[in-house]
Chains A and B, each alone.
Chain A
Amino acid sequence: MALTTINNSAAIALAASYCKVDVVASYPITPSTPITHELDKLYVNGGFPKFIPVEAEFSAISSLLGASAAGARTFSATCGQGLMLMHEALFSTAGLRLPVVMAVANRAISSPLNIWNDEQDSMCQRDSGWIQLYCKNGQEAVDTVIQAFKIAEKAMLPAMVCLDGFYLTHSVGQVDIPDRDKVAAFLPPYKNPCVLDPQNPLTVGAYAVPADYQDFREDLSADLEASARTIEEVGKEFGKAFGREYGLVEYHNCKDADRVIVTLGSVYNTIELVADALRAKGEKVGVAHLRSFRPFPAADLRANLGGKHVLVVERDISPGAVPPVYAELSEALAGTGSTVSVAAGLLGGREAKRQAFESLFERMKQGKVKGWFCSKEKKL
């Protein structure tokens, strides 16, 4: 393994070019701009055959929808308001079963305007039918982009590779860039079984009447759920080929833990540090990284965390209701004797000090926790 000191965004773009992407369409928006910039730079230097310089994100995803239907392997990067602008076409891409892969540089959403990191942008696309994989560091982002093509093309579903804006998109560090030839061996060429082709005309995106529409939605739902197996298989294959294995959820010291914090994204790293320090003092605490949010690995979580006190640190909200990861985790752990807690917050770039996570673990000893995390107003 040879480590390269590189900006994560450059590493992600390079990984996409090693995946032999045919068409890139991406519009710059902070903090996914460096990925778009690096993709464009690679295109100019022959890294991709086609880069469509679109005028907005809706065109980016729509172009890729078309390109993918024509049989191309496609990639984009966006975030925040850009992802919001794609919303309608995200559902179409999934419904048409087109394996577009896109990096999402998680960012807050307006209003008020904020360019900093949380995970509200991708969370509110959760019902779009896309696979959503979250990364806790730059290495995972690079590895997950490569895996995402294989997963998406096997499942015939689009996939988002979510990484925290700024924390991961703008950081320089050491990354093992997988070997180009090994990536080619890992990832077979993309073959869409029903390609738009003028020689063999067919209809893509046909009208579905009331008698049929629901059947398509049932299929989509079932196949997205079944893609969990594909994510696991591809994660194992990747481990064999590159030495880093991936699954649906990463569990750290959870087996004998009585208290576990579950989270997504780069904040996991800080919680792991805090949990390890508490472990050293004899506290039975663990941490879990929810790598796959779609499909939601309910059975996996139930098998590994059932009966424990599990708290979600969640960086998104659902105004007027409980936040989504908490809601889904509560359903997954129902009947196991688990207490499920939630601390939602760290929005728009608000950062928790390590002591705040220590306090959370401490607070869990007293029973269920539910409320805002790092709020100026309300103490948990």
Chain B
Amino acid sequence: MLAEIRFHGRAGQGMVTAAELLAAAAGAEGKYSQAFPVFGSEKRGPPVMSFCRISDSPITTYDQVSEPDIVVVADPSVLSSVNVAAGLKKGGIVIANCNCKASELGITDAKVFVVDGTKIALEHLHQPIFNTVMLGAFIKITGLVKMESVEKAIHEEFDEKSKAMADENVDAVRACYELAKKD
């Protein structure tokens, strides 16, 4: 099993961290994983991508994920400027943060899921940062990693002093897990 995942969002929304948390969660479950970013001039705002690979066997390539099995779109505003489905494998999965119907995204040959992640981010994190939120939908829809592994990864990401922030993020992941629909 090798799952190749591509995250789309905007710089400053934690896309790198999203991929890293996912890799850490998979690693904690004894799987092989890899996460790395590609970003522009390191300013907040422009569209960014990050990548994650999860596999049963050691991962021996470091090239960018150009033919993903799963695409996660964390910021709805990139949908109008970036072809998020570029190279997506036939029958692949798109999980988009969007307050609309999946059919409205115009992505064909893919299983498209939408969840209003912005609403959850604003409720739980009080700011439009979508990385951890979208992991909730990812867990529900793909089942590739367990909720407790992601929770553990989040707690390890924050230090002791920031435990309250870690808890907020865990709550946001859980809320998005509940809200996301598998079919």
Residues of A within 8 A of B (CB): 3-5, 7, 30, 115, 137, 164, 166-168, 170-174, 266-267, 269-270, 272-273, 349, 351, 353-354
B56-64, B78-86, B89-97 - the one binding chain A: B56-64
Q: Is the CB of B36 within 8 A of A166?
A: yes
Q: Is the CB of A272 within 8 A of B60?
A: yes
User: Which B residues are CB-close (under 8 A) to A164?
Assistant: 62
Q: How far is the CB of A170 from chain B (nearest CB, A)?
A: 5
Give complex CA distance A116, B162 in Å.
32
Closest to B21 in A: A172
Q: Is the CB of B34 within 8 A of A171?
A: yes
Give complex CA distance A170, B61 in Å.
14
State the main secondary structure of chain A at its contact with B: mixed
Q: Is the CB of A172 within 8 A of B35?
A: yes
The answer to whether A171 and B63 touch (CB under 8 A), given A3-B27, A5-B23, A7-B20, is no
User: Which B residues are CB-close (under 8 A) to A272?
Assistant: 60
| Chain B interface category by residue count | 20 to 34
Q: Is the CB of B23 within 8 A of A273?
A: no
Q: How far is the CB of B4 from chain A (nearest CB, A)?
A: 13
Partner of A273, one of B38, B58, B60: B60
Q: Is the CB of A351 within 8 A of B63?
A: yes
Q: How far is the CB of B31 from chain A (nearest CB, A)?
A: 9
Q: Name 13 A/B residue pairs within 8 A (Cβ), A-sorted.
A: A3-B27, A5-B24, A5-B33, A168-B62, A170-B16, A172-B34, A173-B32, A173-B33, A173-B35, A267-B63, A269-B63, A270-B63, A351-B63
Q: How far is the CB of A207 from chain B (nearest CB, A)?
A: 45
Q: Is the CB of B61 within 8 A of A174?
A: no
Interface centre among B28, B58, B63 (most CB of A within 10 A): B63
Partner of B61, one of A168, A172, A273: A273
B42 close to A (CB within 8 Å): yes
User: Which A residues are CB-close (under 8 A) to B99?
Assistant: none
Q: Is the CB of A351 within 8 A of B27?
A: no
